[in-house]
Amino acid sequence: MDEGNDEELAPLVDGLSGALCILILVSVVFMLSSSDLLTASENEGLKIRESYVYLDKNMISYNTAISLSSSDLYQVRKKIIDSDKKVLILYGAVSEKIDNNEEKNTYNLLRFYSSLNLPSDIEVKFKTGNVEKCAQNLSCIYWELE
């Protein structure tokens, strides 16, 4: 083969490989930005959003373990305290498809309760909930106020 031919093709190959890298980078950026499962956190980069709060339904749905932002916790706490009710019933529901579902349910209920940091005059009761209320997720916590 002629070495001069290789030298003439080198800039073309470099340009094509650079264009391919840019195309891949742009594709990855669009995929990440279009996903609602990823949220930005201040010092941790990107992380998967695992919990969704539905204040109108008094429900939090999650996949593995409950993880709420401080804003979500504030809104839930405010709704509970502003109701002027003195009994809060927390229902935890975890699908039987999940290993150790009872232990995970207990863990998530206690974690949610401790994160709320409610006043001492609100009585809290814990109950096993109905998984059918969790919609598309396998786990949820919902509450009633009396």
Domain span at 12: 3-34
Question: Tens digit of pLDDT for each residue in 110-135?
Answer: 999 999 999 999 999 999 999 888 87
Neighbours of 67 (CB within 10 A): 17
In a domain, residue 40? The reply is no
Q: Is residue 11 part of a domain?
A: yes
Asked if 119 contacts 44 with a C-beta cutoff of 8 angstroms, the reply is no
Question: Within this chain, do residues 99 and 54 fall inside the same structural domain, yes or no?
Answer: yes
Claim to verify: residue 24 and residue 71 sit in the same structural domain: no
Q: Is 141 exposed, middle or buried (0-12, 13-18, 19+ CB in 10 A)?
A: buried
pTM of the model: 0.66
Same domain, 54 and 28: no
- Each residue of 57-81: pLDDT tens digit? 999 988 878 888 888 999 999 999 9
User: Are 21 and 59 part of one and the same domain?
Assistant: no
